[in-house]
Amino acid sequence: MKRIINYIWPVLLCFGIGFAASKLQAESMMEWYPHLNKSGFTPPNIAFPIAWSIIYLLMGLSLGRVLNKGYKEGVFIWTVQLVLNFLWSILFFTMRMPVLGMIDILLLDAFVVWFMMAVSKKDKPALYMFIPYILWLVIATYLNGYIVINN
């Protein structure tokens, strides 16, 4: 039963963090973000909740695997990246500070890569579950950088 719970609570945590971030950035998404000069590669708005739902599910499942392996360093790295993930929404949207968001997302990129490298030796499926995340972060980092440079 503990093994199953180790999958359930991380998934719920990820969705909870995502929900909280969406509530905190809602005003900015309507009042500020639409007026920014954005890249032509910016995905349509509908892509974001779809992508993040998949990513949060996989992030949680990945942590479940790491928890069940008893890999404490992996849990630590995963936790830091989740904090950085949430902090990005606060910095970029709520505080409307794309430069600080850029610093945060670069740190987030590094922690996600670190997590992937760390778990690659312990649990390949946990690594594979982070591939959509890092791919989305590459896009998000580019978009954040574009906004910093062009606004």
- Would you say 125 and 146 are in contact if contact means Cβ atoms under 8 Å apart? no
Q: Which residues of 124-141 are buried (b: 16+ CB within 10 A; e: fewer)?
A: eebbebbeebeebbeebb
Average pLDDT over all residues of the chain: 97
Burial of 100 (0-12, 13-18, 19+ CB in 10 A): middle
Whole-angstrom distance, CA of residue 59 vs CA of residue 87: 17
- Would you say 99 and 148 are in contact if contact means Cβ atoms under 8 Å apart? yes
So what's the pLDDT on residue 31? 96
So what's the pLDDT on residue 24? 96
* 25-69: pLDDT as tens digits: 999 999 999 999 999 999 999 999 999 999 999 999 999 999 999
Residue 2 has pLDDT above 90, yes or no: no
